[in-house]
């Protein structure tokens, strides 16, 4: 009885498998690491909804294809759809059943297993991909170099290649070098160096990089001939793990820095701009340094964007005032990863003398006082005749009339002399408050080069005129 029951069970299992509407297969079922596998779904039915499969065995699907077959049995038409998905598994796994809608019903496939074995260890591989780091233990924000090396044997042919860089989640990418290529006795070697810095504390990992290589091959046809083919294989690099430690409280910079402030002059006229250049040099996360622009009472301060070139940071700041002032000290606090200490570097204060032209007023006052003293000691004689007084009166009237006629000319000439925008320095001072305007910024840069670097760059007069009109500058 038990034997009959067992046979019935096996028969039902066979029938269910034979008439299953979705069947899954993998080919090959066992591969070396880096080789490609094809996962196929054979679906029987008239109307199907294709499943959306993007990843298999925790690996991305590289390509997909489909094929439709039709069979006529006793006048009935049967359709079979074969959906194929190609991927490169990095470890052994079991692909779970996949669901799809077939003729209005949801059907499931069977599960299939893929076995991945280590790649054959050869003394001289045709292709090698490798990751190396200058540091394994570091602090948040501490810079380090990641070197990616790809080696290809001189006699190895590659029809095509596709490179997939490692995911750098949790790291700032400070820079990436151009590929450097050189040759040794056996290999053509290509290197790329990434400058990175960790964003957070804890254990961070850089996963494998991948290089897919297409090589020439051949296979036998059904007629016994050899047909040329192209075979793809993926080469993986090693993984890297990092132990990242947090910075001390209140510190956001790590490295070793030096700072200096260079002023072009320490004595200026009232409302004339004085420029300083702040330079920070050293190794560390320069990109985390914020603007040095200080807040100052009775002094207008204008800062330019920070510029970073290699291991040097530069920022220019302009100050405008009508009285003496002091440019404050600029400082940086950072953590020295070598000494494991928090350090601070700073510049010195810079005193600026502002010359106010009030000497003329003092001279006028003294002149008036001298005239009064002279009047006290001089008394006109009665001997002056009437004719002399008449001439003096007429001369005074003429001088007064002439003065009234030419007063606008002298007034405008004085204004032009004291504050004419034809003076590059005065024009620079009046344009600085509108430096956020891109067109103004370009003219300001030209003025600074002409004034402080003694260059002779022409300014577009038409554009300048429009800007002066736009901001009401005269």
Q: Which residues pair with 59 in a beta bridge?
A: 56
Structural domain harbouring 49? 2-117
Confidence of residue 147 (pLDDT cuts 50, 70, 90): very high
Q: Are residues 241 and 262 in the same domain?
A: no
What pLDDT is recorded for position 151?
92
The Cα–Cα gap between 104 and 113 comes to 29
Q: Give the end of a domain, one of 75, 97, 117.
A: 117
Same domain for 166 and 227, yes or no, is yes
Phi, psi of 383 (to 5 degrees): -75, -15
Q: Closest by alpha carbon to 166, among 126, 119, 125, 133?
A: 133
Evaluate if residue 305 carries a pLDDT over 50.
yes
Question: For residue 9, what pLDDT is reported?
Answer: 43
| pLDDT > 50? residue 247 | yes
- On whether both 226 and 262 belong to a single domain, the answer is no
Counted domains in the chain: 4
Q: Are residues 198 and 267 in the same domain?
A: no
- One domain for residues 132 and 240: yes
If asked whether residues 140 and 225 sit together in one domain, one would say yes
Q: What single-letter DSSP state applies at residue 367?
A: H
Distance (Å, whole) CA 288 – CA 280: 12
Domain presence at residue 122: no
pLDDT for 455: 82
DSSP structure string for 165-191: PPP-TTEEEEEEPPPEEEE-SSEEEEE
Residue 438: its pLDDT value, please?
84
Q: What is the pLDDT of residue 220?
A: 61
Residue 65 is inside which H or E element, if any?
strand 59-73
> CATH code at 204?
2.60.40.10
Domain assignment present for residue 376? The answer is no
* Least confident stretch, 51-60, 157-166, 309-318, 451-460: 451-460
Q: Which of 342, 247, 330, 326 is nearest to 290 (CA)?
A: 330
- 375: in domain: no
| 123 three-state secondary structure | coil
On whether both 280 and 338 belong to a single domain, the answer is yes
Looking at the domain assignment, is residue 427 inside a domain? Answer: yes
Query: What's the mean pLDDT when you consider all of the chain?
Result: 81
Q: Whole-angstrom Cα distance, residue 188 to residue 132?
A: 18
Q: What is the pLDDT of residues 65-103, one digit of tens each?
A: 888 887 766 666 677 889 999 888 888 999 999 998 888
pLDDT > 80? residue 275: yes
Last residue of a domain, one of 52, 87, 117: 117
> Regarding predicted confidence, which is higher, 75 or 110?
110
Examine the domain organization and report whether 235 and 342 are in the same domain. Answer: no
Residues 110 and 13 in one domain: yes
CA dist list (Å): 375 to 39, 365, 370, 378, 385: 117, 16, 9, 5, 20
pLDDT > 90: percent of the chain: 36
Residue 437 domain flag:
yes
Q: Which CATH number do you get for residue 22?
A: 2.60.40
Q: Is residue 8 part of a domain?
A: yes
Q: What is the pTM of this model?
A: 0.56
Say if 371 falls within a structural domain.
no
In a domain? residue 416: yes
Task: Specify whether 188 is located in the same domain as 274.
Answer: no
Alpha-carbon distance 416 to 410, whole Å?
10
pLDDT of residue 88: 87
Domain end (from 117, 140, 168): 117
Are 187 and 217 contained in the same domain? yes
Please indicate, yes or no, whether residues 394 and 439 belong to a single structural domain of this protein. yes
């Amino acid at each position: 009885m038990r034997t009959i029951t067992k046979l019935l069970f096996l028969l039902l299992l066979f029938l269910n498998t034979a008439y299953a509407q979705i069947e899954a297969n993998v080919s090959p079922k066992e591969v070396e690491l880096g080789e490609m596998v094809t996962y196929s779904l054979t679906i029987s039915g008239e109307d199907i909804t294709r499943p959306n499969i993007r990843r298999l065995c925790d690996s991305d699907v590289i390509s997909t294809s489909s094929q439709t077959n039709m069979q006529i049995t006793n006048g009935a038409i049967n359709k079979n759809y074969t959906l194929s998905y190609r991927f490169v598994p990095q470890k052994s796994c079991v692909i779970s059943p996949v669901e799809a809608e077939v003729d209005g019903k949801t059907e499931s496939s069977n599960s299939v297993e893929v076995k991945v074995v280590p790649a054959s260890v050869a003394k001289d591989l045709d292709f090698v991909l490798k990751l190396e780091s200058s540091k394994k233990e570091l602090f948040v924000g501490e810079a380090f170099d990641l070197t990616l090396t790809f080696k290809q044997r001189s006699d190895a042919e590659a029809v095509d290649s596709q490179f997939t860089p490692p995911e750098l989640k949790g790291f700032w990418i400070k820079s990436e070098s151009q590929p450097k290529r050189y040759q040794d006795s056996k290999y053509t070697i290509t290197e790329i160096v990434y400058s990175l810095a960790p964003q957070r504390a804890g254990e961070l990992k850089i996963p494998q990089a991948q290089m897919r290589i297409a090589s020439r091959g051949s296979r036998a046809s059904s007629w016994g001939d050899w047909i040329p083919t192209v075979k793809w294989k993926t080469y993986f690099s090693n993984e890297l793990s990092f132990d990242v430690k947090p910075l001390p409280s209140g510190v956001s910079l790590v490295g070793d820095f030096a700072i200096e402030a260079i002023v072009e002059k320490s004595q200026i006229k009232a409302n004339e701009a004085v420029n300083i250049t702040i330079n920070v040099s050293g190794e560390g996360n320069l990109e985390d340094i914020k603007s040095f622009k200080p807040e100052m009472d009775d002094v207008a301060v204008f800062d330019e964007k920070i510029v970073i070139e290699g291991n040097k940071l530069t920022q220019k700041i302009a100050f405008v005032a009508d009285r003496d002032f002091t440019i404050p000290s600029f400082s940086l606090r950072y953590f020295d990863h070598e000494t494991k200490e928090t350090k601070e570097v700073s510049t010195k204060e810079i005193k600026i003398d502002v010359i106010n032209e009030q000497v003329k007023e003092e001279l006028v006052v003294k002149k008036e006082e001298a005239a009064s003293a002279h009047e006290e000691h001089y008394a006109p004689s009665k001997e002056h005749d009437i004719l002399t007084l008449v001439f003096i009166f007429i001369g005074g009237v003429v001088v007064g009339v002439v003065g009234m006629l030419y007063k606008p000319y002298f007034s405008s000439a004085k204004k032009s002399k004291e504050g004419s925008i034809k003076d590059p320095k005065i024009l620079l001072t009046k344009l600085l408050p509108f430096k956020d305007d891109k067109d103004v910024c370009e003219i300001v840069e030209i003025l600074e080069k002409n004034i402080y670097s003694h260059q002779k760059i022409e300014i577009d007069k038409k554009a300048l005129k429009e800007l002066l009109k736009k901001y009401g500058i005269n």
